[in-house]
Amino acid sequence: MPPGREIILVVEDEPAIADTLVYALQTEGFAPIWKSSGRDALAELERTPVALVVLDVGLPDGSGFDVCRTLRARHAVPVIFLTARSGEIDRIVGLELGADDYVAKPFSPRELTARVRAVLRRTHGASSAASSPAATAGVWQHDVPRCRIGYRGSALELTRNEYRLLAALLAQPGRVFSREQLMEAAWDDPGAALDRTVDAHVKSVRAKLRSAAPEADPIVTHRGLGYSLREET
């Protein structure tokens, strides 16, 4: 293993997809390891200092969601899900699993490696088995296991829906989310929420962010489209 190369664990049962991923990651200077089952992946995590896991949702020995839950209980390593179904995206974006990001199939190798880089940048590479699960990244501090978010050093006192809404935005800075997508990410019963419910929650999150950092306004309104989080580092 060349020194200084970050190890990326690729958990994918389809060899063609795994090959593409391994090749793309190698080309980008990473040291990928491929495992085709959740069991093998969890065993590998016990013996190797993995920097990030790329995890397929549909695995032969169970769901990637279960693998994520098991590894989350033991390791602070960031996880990017690979998913083929939009129904799965809702669960991932809802962050009940503490995933750091997701990529929908089919994807380009370039897109995947860009996401890997972005997540590693966010987590500062502080993801070895020994490190704290709290992911500290630039101006945001997202402690996924504890469901807490801090901004510029101040912890935010968020309600459950405010947390889930902000966590969804935070998972993909710069991406514009529609109100509908935010509802599905942050509410257990999205049908019961209204567009203006999302607006009201964004307003209260903004007020809390203002008390943490009066001059900053990190949530951007896109008229007729929705909201995004300003990309800052």
Least distance CB 154 / Ca ion (angstroms) = 41
Residue closer to Ca ion (CB basis): 13 or 199: 13
Q: For the packed helices 86-93 and 179-186, what is the interaxial angle rounded to 10 degrees?
A: 70
Catalogue the E-assigned strands of 84-218. 101-104, 135-137, 140-143, 148-151, 154-155
| Nearest-approach distance from CB 132 to Ca ion, in angstroms | 31
Q: How far apart are CB 171 and Ca ion at their closest, in Å? A: 22
One-letter amino acid of 173: P
Does 13 interact with Ca ion (rule: CB under 5 A)?
yes
Residues 19 and 4: their CA atoms lie apart, in Å, by 22
Q: Report the residue closest to Ca ion, judged by CB.
A: 58
The nearest distance, CB 56 to Ca ion, in angstroms, is 4
In terms of CB distance, is 13 or 28 closer to Ca ion?
A: 13
- Dist CA 120 CA 25 (whole Å): 13
The least distance separating Ca ion from the CB of residue 19, rounded to whole angstroms, comes to 14
Q: Which stretch binds Ca ion (CB under 5 A): 10-18, 100-108, 197-205, 218-226?
A: 10-18
CB of 35 vs Ca ion, minimal distance in Å: 12
SS3 213: coil
Strand order in the sheet with 140-143: 135-137, 140-143, 148-151, 154-155
Other C-beta atoms closer than 10 Å to the C-beta of 222 total 11
Residue 56 sits in the site that holds Ca ion (CB under 5 A): yes
Q: Which is nearer to Ca ion, 6 or 56 (CB)?
A: 56
Q: Smallest gap, in angstroms, from Cβ of residue 12 to Ca ion?
A: 6
Q: Which is nearer to Ca ion, 34 or 163 (CB)?
A: 34
Helix (H, G, I), strand (E, B) or coil at 124: coil
CB nearer Ca ion, residue 55 or residue 165: 55
Which residues 6+ apart lie within 8 Å of 4 measured at CB? Answer: none
Q: Which two tokens stand for residue 26?
A: 């190698």
Q: Residue 8 forms beta bridges with which residues?
A: 32, 52
Q: Which of 20, 40, 58, 199 binds Ca ion (CB under 5 A)?
A: 58
String of contacts with Ca ion for each residue 146-185, x by CB under 5 A: ----------------------------------------
Please name which of 133, 17, 132, 35 lies closest in space to residue 83, comparing C-alpha atoms: 17
Cβ distance to Ca ion smaller for residue 83 or 161? 83
Residues binding Ca ion (CB under 5 A): 13, 56, 58
